Amino acid sequence: MYARSTTVQAHQDSIDAGVAHIRDEVMPALLDMPGCIGLSMLVDRTSGRCIATSAWDSAEAMRASEDMARPMRERAAEILGNRAQVDQWEIAVLHRDHRTREGCCVRATWFRFSAGDMARAIDIYKMAMLPAMEQFDGFCSASLMVDRESGIAVSSVTYDSMDAMARTRDDADSLRLSGAREAGVEVLDVCEFELALAHLHVPEMA
């Protein structure tokens, strides 16, 4: 499974219009494309950082969609008020305890790893970090996406509410530090988001 994410540093007063456009125009068009298995959108209303991610059942399907997806991406970025950064990922892990519902939130963590450490880092995420995260209050799901070429990975952990996510911050910080140390990866960034759109249908990959 593969994913393409589009990140826009949006103008705060344009976020709602951007979410509506992606929900009503972009998502239906993407879901009509061969191999598309859903879309999600994360929003940080304080910073304006917005990330829309489409999921695909193969790298070939994701590449084949690019020419049709590009003008939709550019239009969405225009509505949000800034240029788009595009990243492509391999979905290495996805575990879902239960489906999302209104009010869910996401803590995303970006890592850098060396090529030789990637398999080990994925194993540590699956075998050590994921079971620990499942015990966190309000845990809903977790995923790990990797870019083998750049050496960047992103973990997204979804919680049932902002309050639940806030209550896990200290435990998540400790787990992140110990996991990064054991896996030999560098933590680049951590950000908390509102889950504005949740229509990914990626199967269990844990």
pLDDT digits (tens, 9 = 90+) for 125-181: 999 999 999 999 999 999 999 998 899 999 999 999 999 999 999 999 999 999 999
> Phi, psi at residue 125, to the nearest 5°?
-60, -45
Assigned domain for 76 exists: yes
Instruction: For residues 195 and 206, give the distance between their C-alpha atoms in angstroms, rounded to a whole number.
Output: 22
Q: Model confidence over 53-88: pLDDT tens digits?
A: 999 999 999 999 999 999 999 999 999 998 999 999
Per-residue model confidence (pLDDT) at position 13: 94
Average model confidence (pLDDT) for the chain? 94
Assigned domain for 206 exists: no
Number of domains in the chain: 1
Instruction: List the domain range (segments joined by +) for residue 38.
Output: 2-200
CATH of the domain at 161: 3.30.70.100
Assigned domain for 97 exists: yes
Assigned domain for 195 exists: yes
> Has residue 117 got a pLDDT over 90?
no
Cβ atoms of 183 and 174 within 8 Å: the answer is: no
Assigned domain for 35 exists: yes
> Has residue 6 got a pLDDT over 70?
yes
Q: How far is CA 22 from the centre of its chain?
A: 16
Collect all residues with Cβ–Cβ distance below 8 Å to 87 and sequence separation of at least 6: 4, 5, 7, 147, 152
Nearest to 82 by CA among 42, 40, 52, 49: 49
Q: Model confidence over 22-57: pLDDT tens digits?
A: 999 999 999 999 999 999 999 999 999 999 999 999
Q: Which two tokens stand for residue 133?
A: 């995260």
Q: Model confidence over 173-205: pLDDT tens digits?
A: 999 999 999 988 999 999 999 999 998 877 777
**Side chain identity, residue 152:** I
Placement of tokens 């008020």 in the chain: 81
DSSP track, 108-158:
EEEEE--GGGHHHHHHHIIIIIHHHHHTSTTEEEEEEEEETTTTEEEEEEE
Cβ atoms of 33 and 54 within 8 Å: the answer is: no
